[in-house]
Amino acid sequence: MRVAQFSWSEDAGWAAPASNADSDLVFFFGTRQALAGGDRYHELRAMFPRAHIVGCSTGGQIHDDDVTDDDIAAAALGFDATRLQVASEPAAAADRSRACGEAIGRSLAAPDLVGVFVLSDGLNVNGSELAAGISSVLGKRVPITGGLAGDGADFRETLVGANCVPRKHLVAGVGFYGAAIRIGHGSAGGWDEFGPRRRITKSRGNVLFEFDGEPALDLYERYLGEDEAKGLPGSGLLFPLRIFDPERPQHDIVRTILAIDREARSMTFAGDVPQDWTAQLMRGHFDRLAAGAASAARQAVDGIGEARSGDSLAILVSCIGRRLLMGQHTADELEATSAEFGPRIPQLGFYSYGEISPHRVSGVCELHNQTMTVTTIAEAAESARA
Amino acid sequence: MPVHKLLARQLAKAAKPSGEVDLQALLALVSTAYEQSEADRQRTDRSIALMIGELEQLNHGLDKLVQERTAELRNREFELQAQNLRFDAAIENMPQGLCMFDRNERLIVCNARYGEIYGLSPAQTKPGVTLRSILEARVKAGYHPDEPHIYVEKILTKVRTGQPYYSEYPMSDGRVFAINHRPMTGGGWVAIHQDITAQKQAETQIAFMARHDGLTGLANRSVLLEKMEEALARLRRHGSPFTVFMLDLDLFKIVNDSLGHPVGDELLKVVAARLLACTRETDTVARLGGDEFAILATADDNQQGAAIATANRLLAAISTPFDLDGNAINIGTSIGIVLAPTHGVNVEQLIKNADLALYKAKAEGRDSYRIFEPSMGLEAITRRAHQSELRNALTNDEFVLHYHPIVDVQTQETASVEALIRWKHPQRGMISPLEFIPLAEETGLINPIGEWVLRKACADAAHWPANVKVSVNLSAVQFRRLCPIDNVRSVLDETGLPPERLELEITETVLLQGSEDNVETLHQLRAMGIAIVLDDFGTGYSSLSYLRMFPFDKIKIDRSFVHELAKNEHSASIVSAVAGLGRSLRIGTVAEGVETEEQLVLIRAAGCTHAQGYLFGKPCPAAELNFRRFVQRNHKIKVA
């Protein structure tokens, strides 16, 4: 496999690699503003006429151990022995997310499918349902990774492109096929639980109304304080919410807030918040968030093995919440992952509104929030191919 | 100098393409970093403070909850203790023994009474001991039914069926225990043990009482009838004859009335004992009620001879004086006897015939026995015919009154006239009251007859000279059955006879029977102005105490004394004594049965105030009465 990283900036335009004609797949991540209009896509298409071009808007681009806000981070991948297929589906409405996931799954399904990387609209999709839809078709054997597109801290509109001009309300999946391809994955948070456990006394789907009979929004506003409460829903990410079924406390999930309704005193999350489940606030510490990211990187590296042929790539999908909290310390977690990958595995990625990865315990592909989710892609050395 | 990695990053970010540091950009980055750090610190502080607050609140809530739950638990514990105490108190205060066993036949709990009943020590009734060991301990202590060797196994077998049961066990010491056994759900059982000895005894007593006379302990009528049926069955099967004696005590009523019921009851008990002493164990002696007894005796070939011997023994036994509380009591008995099968082959017939024989014995003078004869049936039929004739006599106006004068000994003038009833029978002619009054008394016809006599006599007397009184006999039965006062008053009102012209003659029996009420009645009659006369003085008990009981206006000295007057000094002195007593008490004395002038002289000498007898004429119808003075001449009294 060959990997060439490149970027685009307002000032300098594309800093493209010298040779790109044999690239099979291009990933690109940029601000909504940079991607809107389609110029960048057309430019990429011109540069990589035969490649699948897949990307989305973000809450910040990851380019090795740097995080940037204005430019576009991209990578062109060329495979020696791997077949690719890209599928996309419109994400009509949040309550159709499962059907959308099932359609993607059906499009990509094949006996030699090894892994799927998904990019989804970040605001109009119930990520839990989407992940459940895809895995209901493909099963636990095929790891599904990826994330939900972002829109900085604005939460207004997200864009996804898959061999087309990036647009809203789209879900795209890239399927990797064949015996050579190796896909690793890892996901970790590193958040610290704090405060009392609360009971979700009123919720509907991914809309949370009450904890212990008190409006959930009241609690968040109180914890954020007057100033930061103005920044809701974005500032809500500073206190991620860990939820679990009281019957299965090991199987916990962290949820990201997507929207609030000050009238209804409700909060909308990127996945379900079932009534009667237990919830607990979390808070982050730079060092431990970075340590979490490192843990995710380790899992992903382990997944692709040592006997690799050519280049490898790590695609990092990290939650916008982590970046909001860490500010200029965000690079700490990228340095931490980078240290795990070493010089042979470059990292590309974005800050997202949700991460998709198999659950570390159940193995079932799920939506995660507030995590660092890492997907490693490599082709095995010829001797190691099955 | 080592540079902080953030500053290094900031420096890198602020570097221009030329490598020069853009100071403005660097300051902006540094400033932002400070702001971020400050916000993060503030956020951390705030969230920790809030969290502490929340946790404290939660903690407080938990404390409160713990306190509430603790109080609740304590209350429940108290309640449970109280309940246990109540339960214990209830169990311990039960008069029954209670025990509860688990499914393994081990004692869970029992009360003290349980141990007491069976003489078990506390160690033997410790929770956990087995039923078998308790049963064996019971047997050892001697509390078991007759067969101890099978008792333990029998109980264990019974308990293991898991069925409820109720059993009564007569213990070797004579007590009776009732066990009420109830299985519990989930195995084990509860049993209640009760000492029902007293109850059993009471039941036996009740059964005995149902078949025996409470006073004497003799068999009662129903037992007698049952035994007679049995005897009849034996008669039919084996030809075994038997004899029934019906007894009725003579003069018992007088004892009861004069000495009181307690003495009467005592007398009946002694009579019962004497009857038992005269009979064999196989005989049945029964008290039928009041002073009536019956004896059922098996018989052999010499049935009649044996019956007579028994009857004589019974007569002798009862006529032997009784000594009760220092009272020497003389009574007798009349006995009616039937021989089965000679006199009957069913209970009803035998009883009826024995009654007839008894009636006959009583009628022929007491203290005797009579064996049933078929003629007695005829007599009874005759008696019934007479009864009906007597009843008709009243409606057919067959009674008439004859009057017998009573003369003032001094003036020899008729002082009063005694009314005497006669029955003018259409076929049999004139019948004496001696023949029909007993029947009238027996049937209660005496009341309408007596009323008729009173009314007729008063009506007749109303036409007589105002100085002549009319004397009417009032029987004891009349006193007993109706109130004579209203009767007398209404007759006087109807006939217009002044009460001062009426004399009522009573016998001492009136005073003997229900004496207090009768004495009160006599006082009321006397208060109306009616004279009260004591008749037949000198016969019967003739206690002088009667004279103290009531202020009689006159005493009639019985004719037997007057008849003997000339021949018997004893009689003469009695007549003198009575006359003297009358004088001193200012009571008139009438000598009855004066037939000769000699007798008249003698009674006058004795001090009698009045005389009555054939010397002054025989009783005659009202129309033949004349009220002239009697003149004594040549030992003959002539009407002047």
For A190, what's the count of Cα atoms within 13 Å in the CB-facing half-sphere?
Answer: 28
Q: Among B472, B353, B342, which Cα is nearest to B420's?
A: B472
Structural element, H or E, at residue B354? helix B347-363
- Give the closest-approach CA distance of A228 to chain B in angstroms: 9
- Give B18-36 as a DSSP string: TS-B-HHHHHHHHHHHHHH
Task: Give the tens place of pLDDT for each residue, B510-531.
Answer: 777 656 778 888 899 999 999 9
Mutate to test the interface with A, among B4, B6, B34, B45 (most CBs of A within 10 A): B6
pLDDT above 60: residue B638 = no
Nearest chain B alpha carbon to A280: B51
B50/A222 CB distance under 8 A: yes
Would an 8 Å CB–CB cutoff place B42 in contact with chain A?
yes
A223/B50 CB distance under 8 A: yes
The 3-state DSSP class for residue B374 equals helix
Q: Which of A224, A281, A328 sits opposite B6 (nearest CB)?
A: A328
Q: Among B460, B472, B541, which Cα is nearest to B504's?
A: B472
3-state secondary structure B94-127: CCCEEEEECCCCEEEEECHHHHHHHCCCHHHHCC
| Cα separation, B270 vs B553, whole angstroms | 42
| Cα separation, B506 vs B67, whole angstroms | 100
| Cα separation, B193 vs B168, whole angstroms | 10
Q: Which of A194, A239, A328 sits opposite B36 (nearest CB)?
A: A328
Nearest chain A alpha carbon to B46: A223
pLDDT above 90: residue A257 = no
Residue that wins the pLDDT comparison between A57 and B474: A57
The whole-number pLDDT of residue B561 equals: 85
Sequence-ordered list of residues with C-beta below 8 angstroms from that of B18, at least 6 positions apart, any chain: none
| Cα separation, B394 vs B444, whole angstroms | 13
Task: Give the tens place of pLDDT for each residue, B73-107.
Answer: 999 999 999 888 888 888 888 888 999 999 888 99
Would an 8 Å CB–CB cutoff place B52 in contact with chain A?
no
B9/A195 CB distance under 8 A: no
Lowest pLDDT segment from A173-177, A318-322, B303-307, B545-549? B545-549
Mutate to test the interface with A, among B38, B40, B59, B60 (most CBs of A within 10 A): B40
Tokens of A350: 């974005």
Band of residue B480 on the pLDDT scale cut at 50, 70, 90: low
A327/B46 CB distance under 8 A: no
Lowest pLDDT segment from A94-98, A132-136, A137-141, B453-457? A94-98
A241 neighbourhood in chain B, CB within 8 Å: none
- Give the closest-approach CA distance of A326 to chain B in angstroms: 8
A325/B54 CB distance under 8 A: no
| Cα separation, B134 vs B549, whole angstroms | 76
Would an 8 Å CB–CB cutoff place B157 in contact with chain A?
no
Return the top range by mean pLDDT from B252-256, B469-473, B550-554, B622-626. Answer: B469-473
The 3-state DSSP class for residue A78 equals strand
Burial class (CB in 10 A: 0-12, 13-18, 19+), B13: middle
| Cα separation, A315 vs A300, whole angstroms | 10
Residue with tokens 């909504």: A32
Strand A347-352 with B554-557, pairing: unpaired
Q: Among A38, B591, B402, which Cα is nearest to B600's?
A: B591
Cβ-contact A61, A67 below 8 angstroms: yes
A225 neighbourhood in chain B, CB within 8 Å: 42-43, 46
| Cα separation, B43 vs B421, whole angstroms | 141
pLDDT above 70: residue A120 = yes
Instruction: Please state the ipTM of this predicted complex.
Output: 0.79
Task: Find the Cα–Cα–Cα–Cα dihedral A12, A16, A18, A22, rounded to 10°.
Answer: -170
Buried b (16+ CB within 10 A) or exposed e, A268-305: bbbbbbeeebbbbbbbbebeebbebbbbbbbbbbebbe
A:B CB pairs within 8 Å? 46
A308 in the Ramachandran plot: left (φ > 0), alpha (ψ -120 to 50) or beta?
beta
pLDDT above 90: residue A364 = no
The whole-number pLDDT of residue B327 equals: 78
Work out the widest C-alpha separation in chain B, in whole angstroms.
206
Residue with tokens 């493209």: A16
Q: Which of residues 251-290 of A touch B (CB under 8 A)?
A: 281, 283
| Cα separation, A185 vs A178, whole angstroms | 18
Cβ-contact A207, A115 below 8 angstroms: no
The whole-number pLDDT of residue B17 equals: 80
Would an 8 Å CB–CB cutoff place A111 in contact with chain B?
no
Residues B607-629, mean pLDDT to the nearest whole number: 88
Mean pLDDT across chain B: 86
pLDDT above 90: residue A154 = no
A281 neighbourhood in chain B, CB within 8 Å: 47
A328/B10 CB distance under 8 A: yes
Structural element, H or E, at residue B479? helix B476-481
A224/B54 CB distance under 8 A: no
B46/A225 CB distance under 8 A: yes
| Cα separation, B304 vs B368, whole angstroms | 16
Cβ-contact A372, A288 below 8 angstroms: no
- Give the closest-approach CA distance of B16 to chain A in angstroms: 13
The whole-number pLDDT of residue B106 equals: 92
B9 neighbourhood in chain A, CB within 8 Å: 328, 331
Q: Where are the beta strands (DSSP E) in B445-550?
A: 469-473, 502-506, 531-537
B43/A329 CB distance under 8 A: no
Burial class (CB in 10 A: 0-12, 13-18, 19+), B200: middle
Tokens of B225: 């009838």
The whole-number pLDDT of residue B146 equals: 64
- Give B611-638 as a DSSP string: E-SGGG---EEGGG---PPEEEETTEEE
pLDDT above 80: residue B34 = yes
The whole-number pLDDT of residue B141 equals: 79
Structural element, H or E, at residue A291? helix A286-304
Q: Among A69, A223, A102, which Cα is nearest to B48's?
A: A223
Task: Give the tens place of pLDDT for each residue, A170-226.
Answer: 999 999 999 999 999 999 988 888 888 899 999 998 899 999 999 999 999 999 888
Structural element, H or E, at residue B390? helix B374-395
Lowest pLDDT segment from A256-270, B415-429, B508-522, B562-576? B508-522
pLDDT above 50: residue B358 = yes
Residues B46-63, mean pLDDT to the nearest whole number: 87
B397 in the Ramachandran plot: left (φ > 0), alpha (ψ -120 to 50) or beta?
left
B36 neighbourhood in chain A, CB within 8 Å: 327-329
- Give the closest-approach CA distance of A199 to chain B in angstroms: 13
Would an 8 Å CB–CB cutoff place B628 in contact with chain A?
no
Mutate to test the interface with B, among A237, A281, A328 (most CBs of B within 10 A): A328
User: Rounded to two decimals, what is the model's pTM?
Assistant: 0.50
Tokens of A256: 């990201």
Compute how many other C-beta atoms are within 10 angstroms of the C-beta atom of residue B314: 21
Task: Give the tens place of pLDDT for each residue, B17-28.
Answer: 888 888 898 999
A220 neighbourhood in chain B, CB within 8 Å: none
Q: What are phi and psi of B314, to 5 degrees?
A: -65, -45
Can you give the C-alpha Rg of chain A in angstroms?
20
Nearest chain A alpha carbon to B36: A327
Mutate to test the interface with A, among B51, B55, B62 (most CBs of A within 10 A): B51
| Cα separation, B31 vs A327, whole angstroms | 12
pLDDT above 50: residue A73 = yes
The whole-number pLDDT of residue B293 equals: 95
pLDDT above 80: residue A376 = yes
Q: Among A323, A325, A326, A314, which Cα is nearest to A353's?
A: A323
The whole-number pLDDT of residue B585 equals: 85
A196/B29 CB distance under 8 A: no
B47/A196 CB distance under 8 A: no
The whole-number pLDDT of residue A271 equals: 79
What type of residue is B45? D
Q: Which of residues 285-344 of A touch B (CB under 8 A)?
A: 325, 327-329, 331-332, 335
Sequence-ordered list of residues with C-beta below 8 angstroms from that of B532, at least 6 positions apart, any chain: B503, B504, B506, B522, B525, B526, B550, B552, B553
Band of residue B175 on the pLDDT scale cut at 50, 70, 90: confident
The whole-number pLDDT of residue B640 equals: 44
Nearest chain B alpha carbon to A328: B33
B567 in the Ramachandran plot: left (φ > 0), alpha (ψ -120 to 50) or beta?
alpha
Residue with tokens 């009767």: B487
Task: Give the tens place of pLDDT for each residue, A266-294.
Answer: 999 877 899 999 999 988 888 999 999 99
Sequence-ordered list of residues with C-beta below 8 angstroms from that of B148, at least 6 positions apart, any chain: B139, B172
A327 neighbourhood in chain B, CB within 8 Å: 32-33, 36-37, 40
Share of chain A above pLDDT 70, in %: 98
DSSP tag of B398: -
Mutate to test the interface with A, among B27, B42, B50, B62 (most CBs of A within 10 A): B50
The whole-number pLDDT of residue B152 equals: 77
Q: Which of A194, A225, A328 sits opposite B33 (nearest CB)?
A: A328
The whole-number pLDDT of residue B543 equals: 63
| Cα separation, B558 vs B538, whole angstroms | 6
B43/A228 CB distance under 8 A: yes
Lowest pLDDT segment from A30-44, B203-217, B619-633? B619-633
Nearest chain B alpha carbon to A239: B47
Share of chain B above pLDDT 70, in %: 96
Strand B502-506 with B469-473, pairing: parallel
The whole-number pLDDT of residue A204 equals: 92
Q: Among A291, A332, A10, which Cα is nearest to B33's?
A: A332
Compute how many other C-beta atoms are within 10 angstroms of the C-beta atom of residue B375: 11
A328/B40 CB distance under 8 A: no
Tokens of B607: 């001090």
What type of residue is B332? G
Tokens of B431: 């019948």
The whole-number pLDDT of residue A291 equals: 94
Would an 8 Å CB–CB cutoff place B43 in contact with chain A?
yes
DSSP tag of A95: G
Band of residue B629 on the pLDDT scale cut at 50, 70, 90: confident
